């Protein structure tokens, strides 16, 4: 499971999964230090590769079934992929409450709106 890039606490699977469900990949906030993380561009490709891709491959190439069962199984495959995705998807810090001074990538994007 991914860790917080600020304090190294592990995120819970549910925490990461919810960020996928918050469509277009909402941010994940560390419960421990409050650092906000967002899925990286490559992370989006990974999520797509785990969910949409196997579903499409099954539906277009592997299935001999009728349309409805094909779509049904395709969705199950996409769902199964989404269950794995939180384990392998990389994140970047987008904002930190506490800055630990080692100038991580992503800090430039941190927005300090007061
Ligand atoms: Zn943290």
Q: How far is the CA of 3 from the centre of ligand 1 (A)?
A: 8
Domain ranges of the chain: 1-39+90-114, 41-89
Confidence of residue 23 (pLDDT cuts 50, 70, 90): low
The candidate with the shortest Cα–Cα distance to 35, out of 5, 1, 2, 3, is: 5
Confidence of residue 39 (pLDDT cuts 50, 70, 90): confident
Q: How far is the CA of 90 from the centre of ligand 1 (A)?
A: 15
Q: How far is the CA of 110 from the centre of ligand 1 (A)?
A: 15
Q: How far is the CA of 27 from the centre of ligand 1 (A)?
A: 13
Q: How far is the CA of 15 from the centre of ligand 1 (A)?
A: 13
pTM over 0.75? The answer is: no
Q: Taking a C-beta distance cutoff of 8 angstroms, is the pair 40, 28 a contact?
A: no
């Amino acid at each position: 499971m991914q860790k917080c890039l600020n304090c190294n606490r592990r995120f819970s699977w549910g925490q990461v999964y919810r960020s996928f469900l918050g469509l277009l990949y909402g941010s994940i906030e560390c419960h421990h230090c409050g650092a906000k993380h967002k899925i990286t561009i490559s992370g989006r490709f990974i999520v797509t590769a785990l969910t949409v891709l196997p579903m499409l491959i099954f539906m277009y190439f592997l299935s001999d079934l009728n349309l409805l069962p094909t779509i049904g199984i395709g969705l199950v495959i996409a769902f199964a992929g989404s269950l794995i995705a939180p384990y392998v998807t990389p994140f970047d810090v987008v904002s930190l409450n506490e800055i630990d001074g080692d100038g991580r990538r992503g800090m430039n994007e941190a927005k300090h709106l007061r």
